[in-house]
Amino acid sequence: MLPALLNHGHDIRALTLSRNTAPLHCMAASAGYEQRMNEIYAWDGMKRGNSPFLVIQHTILGEGRLDYAGTTYHLGPGQTMLVTIPHAHRYWLERGGHWEYFWLVLHGREVQRLAREILDTAGPVLEIGHALTDRLATACLALLTTPKPTPGVASTEAYAAMTTLHDSVFGSRDLPETPLPAAMARVADFIDANLAAALPIDRLAALAGTSRAHFVRKFTASFGIPPSDFVLERRLERIERLLLATEMKVSDIATATGFADGNYLAKAFRRRRGMAPLEFRATRLEAT
């Protein structure tokens, strides 16, 4: 529970686990409870290496900032940040500010899958409520205090953290669903079905039956990102699937996902994912 974590006090622990011949795909790497005051504190999601992992960070007191997909968030008490690495984002403490939070660093194939579902649905900042905050704090405290944790313990607490966030987004049956406007849903379906084709904004606006400017505003309000970024992310997701599920050449994947050639695809992929496509393929297949 959160009170127990607060009573435990500020602490950081990196887990040292035995290598396992039967790898688990939802694992904790480290956890901590920290306070930052009047100091330089900033993390860039593209400068933390190429190995994929994610950070869950829950604010207790004070305020942090997050720049994510062109939007700046103020991270206040009760808010939980979820970010994957590598990814183009930055979070930091404003000069002279105060930020108290607890956090977990997780990795693994299942962690990445759940994170993508949560981020696609709710974005990087969640309001999880008191009960779920207690669940998240319990997982953090267990990682900080369990003597000689085994891989199984590290995986159990990682799953607890991820399922807590999953419940905060998908678990409530009392909240009415807000359906996408029909025009925006139609455009999203069209994008997914035509990733190999050119998808200029004017064409998508015509499909929605609106002016270009109105379409961009409505689409951004519906999905949280501009249509051009949405198209690029959908293409990158398709590229990831093709890299892992097939042996296609990068040039052939470029043709299948709307890029002019393999070089252009590689530049866009590296800019957003922090590594070359073939490096991504090798890293993920090694992890499995």
Spans of all domains in the chain = 2-170, 182-287
| pLDDT at residue 121 is higher than 70 | yes
| Cβ partners under 8 Å of residue 59, min gap 6 | 75, 76, 77, 78, 79, 80, 81, 99, 100, 101
Answer yes or no: is pLDDT of 21 > 60.
no
Q: Structurally, what CATH architecture does the domain formed by 182-287 represent? A: Orthogonal Bundle (1.10)
User: What share of the chain has pLDDT > 70, as a percent?
Assistant: 94
| Average pLDDT for 84-99 | 92
Peptide bond into 277 cis (omega under 30): no
Instruction: Give the percent of the chain with pLDDT over 90.
Output: 69
Q: How far apart are CA 160 and CA 59, in angstroms?
A: 18
* pLDDT for 258: 95
Rg (CA), the chain: 20
Report pLDDT for 178.
61
Torsion-angle region of 267 (φ positive above 0: left; ψ -120 to 50: alpha; else: beta): alpha
pTM: 0.61
Q: Quick check: 169 and 126 in contact, CB under 8 A?
A: yes
Written out in words, the top-level CATH class of the domain with range 2-170 is mainly beta
> Tokens 């807590």 correspond to what residue?
164
Task: Flag the least confident range among 159-163, 262-266, 278-282.
Answer: 278-282
Reply yes or no on whether the pLDDT at 13 is more than 90. Answer: yes
pLDDT in tens, 226-235: 999 999 999 9
| pLDDT of res. 175 | 45
Summarised one tens digit per residue, pLDDT across range 166-220 is 999 988 544 455 677 888 999 999 999 999 999 999 999 999 988 999 999 999 9
Task: Give the per-residue pLDDT at 115.
Answer: 92
How far apart, in Å, are the Cα atoms of 148 and each of 30, 107, 135?
13, 19, 22
Q: What is the pLDDT of residue 173?
A: 47
- HSE of 150, CA atoms in CB hemisphere, 13 A: 4
* pLDDT tens, position by position, 27-71: 999 999 999 998 889 999 999 888 899 999 999 999 999 999 888
Q: What is the pLDDT of residue 63?
A: 95
pLDDT tens, 122-164? 899 999 989 999 999 999 999 999 998 888 899 999 999 999 9
Question: Is 103 strand, coil or helix?
Answer: strand
**pLDDT score of 23 more than 80:** no
Q: What is the pLDDT of residue 1?
A: 65
| Lookup: tokens for 257 | 């996902």
17 burial type by CB count under 10 A (0-12 exposed, 13-18 middle, 19+ buried): middle
SS3 content of the chain, % helix, strand, coil (to 5): 50, 20, 30
Which structure tokens are listed for 206? 């015509």
pLDDT value of residue 168: 92
Per-residue model confidence (pLDDT) at position 24? 82
